[in-house]
């Protein structure tokens, strides 16, 4: 398969224009670290943003960074570390889970709207995105937003490109917020709670005026695999506090005292805490080298454990919870069972289930993305027609 690696927007626009004129399809990729995710894409060529790389502008005092889409995430993180700042949405690294290599790119992060444990308090990747440059399916270079967020009318192109998975255009540049990085953190581990008890405990912790920035529950089947098995034995409900050292110490003490009434509570210091949340973010328990189906399920926080309990009655399933229980990482033992999973989600009040990993055979028969309501599907089709009228980008990726 032909691969294109443009070094300028103009070169990318020329490639896209040529393919549009011929009706030839293009698979858009960054570092290709999520290869195998989503519906199968069959294209005649690959268009990569990898060589559209480099930090364009970064002044820590402005708390805004602009980078070309192919810039490695590691380069972004290194620059932010020097400036004492961070990506608040805490994007995961998919390589271990998906069994891929390569380098994650900042454009890929925003194209897939990748968000980690801090998402439920700091927002998703798209909430940090201020501006984009991209090439649409007509070969036109488009600029939207900028280094200061402004109100827009009609389509919000910035938000629209985040999470579009390369179906609307090739991202070439992104501008996003980079708030200060907390000076330190601690995690409180509450042991011995079952899934339902953990859901109540996380809700109680979030109701306290202690600014909890991470809330996850690790059932017995997965808790042992984190931080080299140094977690307390048994189920673990984990709660993170971040900020200035004195504040973190005081808040962690109060949180440990409050949670200690529900079960044995232990405090993890900064180094272990940071490692734990990276492993939660990157779905370490299921980065097992297999192709067993992995679902990423987003529901109301109180619903997650009910969904898993219902599925366990019918299907071999393992799971753990992030976002106060609102994000369920779920591994099926054999078949994806997408219809059954989505039926239960609907019965419990609604949500979204995305098939992250599966064999090629299962991907061919199981829709990876949550089916859209009819009105939303019609709107999505109109947007696709506007941006990519020849439908050359990532055919089949979004259904």
* Residue 143 in tokens: 């600029």
Output the pLDDT for position 313. 84
User: Are the C-beta atoms of 298 and 326 separated by less than 8 Å?
Assistant: yes
The 10s digit of each residue's pLDDT in 54-65 is 999 999 999 999
Q: Which is nearest to 87 in space by CA: 127, 49, 144?
A: 127
Which residues are within 8 A (CB) of 225 and not within 5 positions of it... i.e. 6 or more apart? Answer: 284, 285
User: Of how many residues is the chain composed?
Assistant: 399
pLDDT value of residue 228? 87
Its pTM surpasses 0.85: yes
Tens digits of per-residue pLDDT, 329-372?
999 998 999 999 999 999 999 999 999 999 999 998 999 999 88
Number of Cβ within a 10 Å radius of residue 232:
16
Looking from the CA of 183 toward its CB, the CA atoms found within 13 Å total: 7
The separation between CA 70 and the C-alpha centre of its own chain, rounded to angstroms, equals 18
pLDDT interval class at 395 (50, 70, 90): low
pLDDT at 397 over 60: no
Q: Please name the residues in contact with 81: beta carbons below 8 A apart, sequence gap of 6 or more.
A: 181
> What would the two tokens of residue 177 be?
């917020």
Residue 246: count other Cβ atoms within 10 Å of its Cβ: 10
pLDDT tens sequence across 133-173: 999 999 999 998 754 433 334 468 898 999 999 999 999 99
For residues 32 and 49, is the Cβ–Cβ distance under 8 A?
no
CA–centroid distance for 23 within its chain: 32
Task: Please calculate the CA angle 109-115-117 and round it to the nearest 5 degrees.
Answer: 145
Number of Cβ within a 10 Å radius of residue 350 = 13
CATH numbers and ranges of domains, the chain: 2-177 (3.30.465.10), 184-281 (3.30.70.2190), 284-365 (3.30.70.340)
Is the pLDDT at 42 greater than 80? The verdict is no
Sign of CA dihedral 160, 164, 169, 173: positive
Enclosing H/E stretch for 253: helix 245-259
């Amino acid at each position: 398969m032909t691969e294109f690696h443009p070094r300028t927007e103009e070169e990318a626009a020329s490639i896209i224009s040529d393919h549009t004129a011929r009706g030839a399809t293009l698979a858009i990729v960054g570092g290709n670290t999520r290869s195998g995710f989503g519906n199968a894409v069959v294209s005649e060529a690959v268009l990569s943003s990898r060589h559209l790389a480099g930090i364009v502008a970064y002044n820590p005092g402005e708390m805004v960074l602009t980078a070309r889409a192919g810039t490695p995430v590691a380069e972004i993180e290194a620059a932010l570390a020097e400036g004492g700042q961070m990506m608040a949405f805490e994007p995961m690294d998919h390589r271990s889970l998906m069994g891929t290599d390569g380098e994650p790119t900042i454009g890929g992060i925003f194209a897939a709207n990748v968000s980690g444990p801090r998402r439920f308090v700091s927002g998703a990747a798209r909430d940090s995105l201020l501006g984009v440059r991209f090439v649409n399916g007509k070969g036109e270079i488009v600029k939207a937003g900028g280094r200061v967020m402004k109100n827009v009318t009609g389509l919000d192109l910035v938000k629209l490109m985040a999470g579009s998975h390369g179906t609307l255009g090739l991202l070439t540049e992104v501008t996003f917020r980079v708030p200060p990085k907390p000076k330190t953190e601690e995690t409180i581990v509450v042991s011995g709670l079952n899934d339902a008890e953990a859901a109540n405990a996380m809700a109680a912790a979030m109701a306290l005026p202690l600014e909890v920035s991470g809330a996850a529950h690790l059932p017995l089947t997965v808790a042992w695999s984190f931080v080299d098995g140094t977690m307390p034995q048994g189920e673990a409900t984990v709660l993170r506090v971040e900020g200035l050292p004195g504040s973190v110490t005081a808040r962690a003490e109060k949180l440990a005292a409050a949670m200690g009434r529900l079960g044995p509570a232990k405090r993890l210091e900064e180094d272990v805490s940071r490692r734990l949340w990276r492993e939660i973010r990157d779905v370490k328990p299921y980065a097992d080298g297999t192709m067993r189906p992995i679902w990423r399920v987003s529901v109301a926080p109180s619903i997650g454990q009910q969904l898993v309990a219902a599925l366990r009655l019918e299907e071999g399933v393992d799971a753990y919870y992030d976002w106060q229980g609102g994000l369920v990482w779920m591994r099926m033992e054999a078949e994806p069972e997408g219809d059954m999973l989505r039926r239960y989600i609907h019965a419990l009040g609604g949500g979204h289930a995305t098939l992250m990993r599966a064999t090629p055979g299962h991907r061919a028969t199981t829709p990876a993305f949550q089916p859209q309501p009819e009105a939303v599907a019609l709107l999505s089709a109109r947007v696709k027609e506007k941006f990519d009228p020849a439908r050359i980008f990532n055919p089949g990726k979004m259904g």
